[in-house]
């Protein structure tokens, strides 16, 4: 977002578009995440939910991230997927640490 090349590229695409700052974008994403997280999505749901997790590590910083996703079929027979959590997992990425992060997510 802050890289000069990216800003020039966006200005070339649409000169009237104002590229938001990294902090503003982070704040807005967090607000949307918090508001949607508060929705009790499965309170009235009477089907089954499949939970998946995906762990990856950034190549240059060795920072690990875990995404926990819920998959279900809604009343109109459409497959839905919702990210429940996107969690930073500190090093080492041992099975115990990953297990604790997943359990904490599910308990929350």
Tell how far CA 48 is from the center of its chain: 22
* Cβ density class 31-54: b for 16+ within 10 Å, e for less: eeeeeeeeeeeeeeeeeeeeeeee
Domains of the chain: 1-39 (no CATH), 43-108 (3.10.450)
What percent of the chain shows pLDDT beyond 90?
Answer: 3
CA distance 32 to 55: 23
Residue 39: predicted pLDDT: 57
pLDDT tens digits, 36-83: 665 566 666 677 889 898 888 877 777 888 898 889 888 788 888 888
Q: Which run of H or of E encompasses 35?
A: helix 22-37
Mean pLDDT rounded to a whole number for the chain = 82
């Amino acid at each position: 977002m802050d890289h000069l090349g990216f800003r020039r590229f966006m200005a070339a695409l649409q000169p009237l578009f104002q590229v938001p700052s990294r902090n503003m974008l982070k704040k807005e994403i967090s607000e949307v995440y918090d508001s949607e997280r508060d929705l009790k999505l499965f309170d009235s749901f009477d089907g089954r939910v499949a939970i998946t997790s995906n762990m990856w590590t950034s190549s240059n910083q060795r920072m690990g991230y875990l995404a926990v996703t819920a998959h279900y079929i809604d009343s109109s027979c459409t497959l839905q997927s919702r990210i429940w959590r996107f969690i930073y997992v500190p090093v080492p990425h041992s099975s115990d640490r990953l297990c604790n992060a997943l359990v904490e997510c599910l308990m929350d």
